[in-house]
Amino acid sequence: MNTYGLHSIHGRAPAIATGLATTRPDLDVWVVTGDGDALSIGGTTSSTRCGATCASRSSCSTTRSTASRRAVLADVGGGQGHQVDAVRVGGRAFNPVSLALGAEATFVARTHDMDRAHMQETFRRAHEHDGAAFVEVYQNCNVFNDGAFAEITGKEVRSDMLIPLHHGEPIRFGAESQRGVVQRSDGRLEIVDVAEVGEGALLVHDEQRADPGLAFALSRLANGPHQPTPIGVFRSVERSEYGEEMERQITVAQDRRGVGDLATLFRSGSSWTVD
């Protein structure tokens, strides 16, 4: 890759990246961060217009095994295997995909570090998307939280525990695609045996749906990385991009009032009149 990177203030990378992406639309700006940085220390700045990848490890590794807000079972014993329920260390765990969907990100996806092809394809699609993109990566931390996602990403269980999302196709999974997802009359999603309900009853994935409600419901299908978990692109919709809209507003203001003199404004005193 021909690229350049920089380290931002801890927990504030999205704010810096948003400013950079807004003023330099010719650049592809990415934030590569962990769940401790993005969802704990910098939780209030995680909504951004630039591409972001969040490596979920369920621990704040830079502060040595502190449980992150992503944690459901977080190793807080310095790699000694002492597991603690996150509900007892600060409330219910964040769901990064749900958080991004709630912030109206127009591209939201999840991948994991045990499938290189899936990860590359997910990043490719995020890169091609025009607008805010968020990708969660289930990434193992073999120092502070080894095996945190093994129950769903392990080679021997992967086919039965990962639910692949493919646009326009019924949501099915399992070694023989024997299980699937249906939507009940009350809107609730449920995992079923395909043989019992028939393929026609299965939910067809629509990543381009304008309303993020269904994608949000899919993001809540699993309570943690020990239940069948959707993986892939949850949402991919077209919408006016933040930087372009800001430039349009500036252009409109300049056309109406003329180009202002920023230096004069800075030296004009502590107050000024706005028409």
Which pairing describes strands 189-193 and 179-183: parallel, antiparallel, or unpaired?
antiparallel
Mean pLDDT along residues 75-83: 36
Confidence class for position 270, pLDDT limits 50, 70, 90: confident
* pLDDT confidence of residue 117: 96
pLDDT tens-place string over residues 48-66: 444 555 655 544 444 444 4
Q: What is the pLDDT of residues 178-223, one digit of tens each?
A: 999 999 999 999 999 999 999 999 999 999 999 999 999 999 999 8
Query: What 8-state DSSP symbol labels residue 220?
Result: T
Task: Classify each residue of 26-54 as buried b or exposed e, where b means 16 or more C-beta atoms within 10 Å of its C-beta.
Answer: eeebbbebbbbbbbbbbbebbbbbbbbbb
The per-residue pLDDT for range 224-261, each reduced to its tens digit, is 889 999 999 999 999 887 778 877 877 776 666 656 66
Rounded distance between C-alpha atoms, residue 160 and residue 173, angstroms: 7
Q: Would you tell me the crossing angle of helices 13-23 and 242-257 to the nearest 10 degrees?
A: 50
- Report whether pLDDT(87) > 50: no
pLDDT digits over 115-132, tens only? 999 999 999 999 999 888
Report pLDDT for 269: 73
What is the pLDDT at residue 56? 57
Q: For the chain, give every domain's residue range.
A: 13-169+205-266
